[in-house]
Structure 1
Amino acid sequence: MNEHVAHLIALAASGVIVTVCVVLHYEALRFLSRTVGVHVHKRIGVLVVMLGLLVAHVVEIIIFALGYRVMQLDTGLGHIAGLNENSFFEFIYFSSVVFTTVGFGDLVPTGAIRVLSATEGLAGLAMITWSASFTFLAMQRLWPHLLSQAERNAKD
């Protein structure tokens, strides 16, 4: 396969995967926003937000891992050096390292599949910061007395 064609295919696949993950993340935030309200105790609400966001991130990592698995199936789009193709958990491990922007170490993408790695790092960073912002707003709403206590302590 022509290198330019491989990169265009990888870019298109990356766009689809990122779009699916962003929509999933948006819907998870919407669900959490509606679910955690006046009907849930404030302490439980914070736990629901944190656990819900962790689940959303894990699902997004798995979606990217599926993308790597499909792209590595003799498609001419490259491969991940050092990865055991018979273990899907290795794809999940690689995806989690890229999503959280920890960096490459024992597994390194080669070929057009690097496009997916680059977009996953960017998307992961964006979604993690989106989650952090959402968590901050939820904490402001659910635990205002704690935030005001922290402000008082900071002034002392």
Structure 2
Amino acid sequence: MRIAIFGAHNVGKTTLAEELLESLPGYTLETEPYYQLELSGYEFSEHLNAEDFVEQFNYSGHLISKSGNDVIFDRFVLDILAYLHVIDPNRNIQSFFEKTQTLIAEIDLFVFVPIEEPDLMQNYQTNLPKLRSKVNDLLYDWISDFGIEVIEVRGTVLNRRNQVLDKIL
């Protein structure tokens, strides 16, 4: 099974992915494209930059296309595209939408980690809270627009993990 975990920054996606990895023997984890690109030598801009998100989108698409079964993706092209659209709203993203639709068909289970009230990640000094909120709201819209069936997880890390495991086991 191919599982894509998505949401805005600092909502607990990586923590959930790592918890699922411990609970699902034989699965591998594809870490965020940002970190994989950084490790490969890609130099990100010091400031939010649309081209950096395009690079992450393309890399994420490549990861999905080349992966086998039993993999957990920490981020999906959908949330990367949401960031691109929020920081560059005038950019024509039609081709990205089409690619996203194709990649959606490659994923067996979508896990959306929304911002919760109260915010469970409030102990982390969340940077760019307005960006985070706009991306979260856009993802809600796009889940419907793309017709994606998602598990929207809430609560503690263990509660979130159990919500996903209940769906797949």
Bigger proportion of residues as strand: 2
Q: Greater CA radius of gyration, 1 or 2?
A: 1
TM-score (norm 1): 0.29
Bigger proportion of residues as helix: 1
